Amino acid sequence: MGALAVAAALAGGGAAAAGPAVARHGAPPAAAPRLPADWPASLRLPTGTLVAATGRAPAWSVQLVVRGSAAQVRRRAIAFYRRAGFRTVANATLRRGALRIVVVVENRDHSAAKTFLVLGVTRTRR
């Protein structure tokens, strides 16, 4: 199970939307992925390249490719959200008000310098 599928399951979302497909000969390239229309407006993403996004309220998942090792990317993502007012409630789980983020990282194949960062986001009732 890939990191995006794990985060989608953690966030309660359905099947993950794949990132840009490889264009076949003569076919136009796929559109760049975008955040879901109802993505929480107050929730910014850390620096990285968005490769997939899925979900609808109250659960979303995004996958980014971020520079650095998995350990570095995890630390930076958690620090990024702590600076934005989230508090750590469990290992790699943060909460601010009704928003909960689960952080999942996975080294990109054949690269210790680029990592998949997956965020499973849920909005809960408080």
In a domain, 28, yes or no: no
User: What are the pLDDT digits (tens) for 84-100?
Assistant: 999 999 999 999 999 99
The whole-number pLDDT of residue 109 equals: 81
Coil/strand/helix, residue 108: coil
In a domain, 60, yes or no: yes
Amino acid occupying residue 16: A
Which structural domain, as residue segments, surrounds residue 50? 3-16+42-123
In a domain, 74, yes or no: yes
In a domain, 98, yes or no: yes
Contacts of residue 16, defined as CB under 8 A and 6 or more positions apart, other chains included, come to: 2, 4, 5, 7, 8, 52, 54, 61, 63
Q: Average pLDDT, whole number, for the chain?
A: 84
User: What are the pLDDT digits (tens) for 35-72?
Assistant: 999 999 999 999 999 999 999 999 999 999 999 999 99
Residue 68, by phi and psi: left (phi above 0), alpha (psi -120 to 50) or beta?
left
In a domain, 35, yes or no: no
Task: Name the domain count of the chain.
Answer: 1
In a domain, 26, yes or no: no
Residue 110, by phi and psi: left (phi above 0), alpha (psi -120 to 50) or beta?
left
How long, in residues, is the chain? 126
In a domain, 30, yes or no: no
In a domain, 11, yes or no: yes
